[in-house]
Amino acid sequence: MNRLAKILICMLCLTLILGTVAGCGKTKQQGQDKADSGEQPKEEKKVWIVGTSPDYPPFEFVDEKGNFAGFDMDLIQEVGNRLGVEVKIESLEFESLIASLKQGKIDAIISCMSPNEERLKEVDFTKPYYKTKHGVLVNPAQVKPRLKSLMMC
């Protein structure tokens, strides 16, 4: 190959590389420029409004000073600290928590709410952070013989 052909090939390769690099840069889309659209840039939310039903100690309750207390309250405050947001707790009736979340009145729920089929259709749940096992304690001396056999199953 002659010298001129090698120079043309190098120039063509250089042009392709520069074109590819230039195409990967950020460009302003129409309507995205603040000055053109008149919109203010959205800031990250600095305050989370979290709904709870504070009637389930030791997870959520109101202490003698009128403050929200309990395991869930400590947990959500720690989540807020780690995310760098202020957490504002709002007391609601348990039955209204999901509706308030869907209406945008609150940003999250923390209220010992277990996922069930109906709730899973409405909202997303975190991974479980506490598992409850239910049981019944009875005095064996007070249990009728027939009930004892049922309890041993």
Q: Please, which pLDDT band fits residue 5 given cuts at 50, 70 and 90?
A: low
Q: Can you give the pLDDT at residue 102?
A: 96
pTM listed for this prediction: 0.60
DSSP string for 50-101: EEE--EETTTEEE-TTS-EESHHHHHHHHHHHHHT-EEEEEE--GGGHHHHH
What does each C-alpha distance from 134 to 71, 100, 107, 137, 152 come to in angstroms? 19, 29, 31, 10, 16
> Are 31 and 37 spatial neighbours (Cβ–Cβ below 8 Å)?
yes
Give pLDDT tens digits for 36-86.
Answer: 444 545 566 699 999 999 999 999 999 999 999 999 999 999 999 999 999
